[in-house]
Amino acid sequence: MKRTIIITSIMLLMSAGVQAQQFNFSQQQTKVWELAKARTLAVAKAMPEDKYSYTPTTGVKSFGQQMTHMANSLLSMNTRFILMKSYSRVEQNAATMSKQQIIDALTDAFDEVITTLNGMTDSELLTQGKSHGAFPLTKWQSFLFMRDHITNHRAKAVLYLRLNGITPPEYGFN
């Protein structure tokens, strides 16, 4: 009986210690964001520069504009949803930019988001950020929303590669 009480007490103390540890969302998500950055840049680099103006049909963004849209939306959402500041930059026109300028803009945007993420604690990430439409989001949810948005546009860009006979970079989550 005494042994059971001692073992139970030890297990309770150990579980209390585990519960006291922070999840550290930013540390966990930084790895995911670095991977998203690498995958997005690989897609951007796979398209030849002369195909950056390619669009599969009228009324949709060109390949280059998909890339500049991702860069701008990362900066916009990071500024408005996470930093809670106003954002007034206008999305750059991909038709006036070189492939390298677009890749640099994407790199800078990802780096800014990753820097913001790295500077946040779990308690900060649990606070309310700016609402997206009717949906109030915590700051950690905003990071997930931002990544989902990027994944959506990167998937469109992958289709543009395929429609041009270009094999896209391999996808995986590891």
- Nearest in space to 54 (alpha carbons), one of 94, 3, 108: 94
- Nearest in space to 161 (alpha carbons), one of 70, 44, 40, 65: 44
- 25-60 residue pLDDT tens: 888 899 999 999 999 999 999 999 999 999 999 999
- 92-117 residue pLDDT tens: 999 999 999 999 999 999 999 999 99
What are the residue ranges spanned by the domains of the chain? Answer: 24-163
- Nearest in space to 147 (alpha carbons), one of 101, 93, 78, 90: 78
Domain spanning 24-163, CATH architecture: Up-down Bundle (1.20)
**pLDDT computed for residue 53 by the predictor:** 97
- Nearest in space to 37 (alpha carbons), one of 151, 162, 125: 151
More confident residue, 172 or 160: 160
Return d(Cα 59, Cα 28) in angstroms, integer: 38
Q: How many residues does the chain have?
A: 174
* Predicted confidence band of residue 22 (pLDDT cuts 50, 70, 90): low
**pLDDT computed for residue 173 by the predictor:** 64
Whole-model pTM: value is: 0.84
